[in-house]
């Protein structure tokens, strides 16, 4: 019912050659329906979770390609290899995911490994692109939100050169193309 109200009733979709100054609707990237402009924001909110998954599916392979030894945290660089590319990439990856999808940065402590960052997306879903760096049985407890300032500039972040590594990851992300 609501869907029908949201769908654009404009005659331009029925072959009439109308010219609009302001677009009558936008096409939803999830359901591919033409949604009237005044309903689009609310409609997208309902589809937030699907939208996030669409975006994640697109950006994840590129983030993986952008990971390298020099974007890993300094104490992981010695043992970093392509076999476990997510190793030591958690803070910089969480920052990049926040750039791309919004939401919050979550910090937790993983027993035996120390500080670990992941994302809480605007829908409330969790995205942890670097969880695979730990053995499969590892328990990752729920964490607490941290603002970007903390993740980039806290004394721990300065020691780990997080800002510098994040810039490196971001630049590499912008240039990698999956399939290379
Ligand atoms: Zn129209
Ligand atoms: Zn329309
Ligand atoms: Zn839709």
How close is the Cα of 101 to the center of ligand 3, in Å?
Answer: 18
Rounded CA-CA distance 19/165 in Å is 48
Look at residue 128 in the predicted model and tell me its pLDDT. Answer: 97
Look at residue 4 in the predicted model and tell me its pLDDT. Answer: 67
Look at residue 45 in the predicted model and tell me its pLDDT. Answer: 84
pLDDT band at 2 (very low <50, low <70, confident <90, very high): low
Q: Which ligand is nearest to the CA of 30?
A: 3
Which residues surround the ion ligand 2 when the cut-off is CB under 5 Å?
A: 8, 10, 24-25, 34
Domain ranges of the chain: 2-46, 52-175
**Residue 7, number of CB atoms within 10 A of its CB:** 18
Rounded CA-CA distance 173/166 in Å is 10
- Provide the total of helices (H) and of strands (E) in the chain, helices listed first: 8, 6
Bridge partners of 108? Answer: 116
pLDDT band at 63 (very low <50, low <70, confident <90, very high): very high
Confidence check: pLDDT of 176 > 60: yes
The chain-wide mean pLDDT, for the chain, equals: 93
Look at residue 56 in the predicted model and tell me its pLDDT. Answer: 95
pLDDT band at 178 (very low <50, low <70, confident <90, very high): confident
**Global pTM value:** 0.81
Q: Which ligand is nearest to the CA of 18?
A: 1
Look at residue 1 in the predicted model and tell me its pLDDT. Answer: 45
How close is the Cα of 177 to the center of ligand 3, in Å?
Answer: 28
pLDDT tens by residue, 108-125: 999 999 999 999 999 999
Bridge partners of 145? Answer: 106
């Amino acid at each position: 019912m609501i869907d029908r109200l949201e769908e654009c009733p404009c005659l331009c979709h029925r072959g009439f050659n109308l010219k609009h100054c302001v677009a009558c609707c936008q096409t939803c990237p999830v359901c591919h329906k033409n949604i009237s402009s005044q309903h689009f924001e609310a409609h997208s909110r309902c589809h937030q979770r699907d939208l996030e998954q669409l975006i994640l599916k697109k950006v994840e392979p590129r983030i993986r390609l952008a990971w390298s030894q020099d974007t890993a945290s300094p104490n992981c660089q010695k043992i970093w290899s392509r076999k476990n590319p997510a190793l030591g990439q958690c803070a910089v990856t969480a920052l990049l995911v926040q750039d791309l999808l919004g939401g919050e940065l979550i910090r937790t402590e993983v027993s035996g490994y120390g500080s670990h960052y992941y994302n809480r997306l605007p829908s409330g879903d969790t995205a942890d692109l670097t969880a695979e760096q730990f053995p499969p049985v590892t328990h990752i407890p729920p964490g607490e939100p941290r603002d970007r300032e903390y993740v980039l500039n806290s004394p721990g972040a300065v020691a780990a050169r997080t800002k510098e590594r994040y810039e490196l990851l971001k630049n590499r992300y912008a240039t990698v193309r999956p399939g290379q």
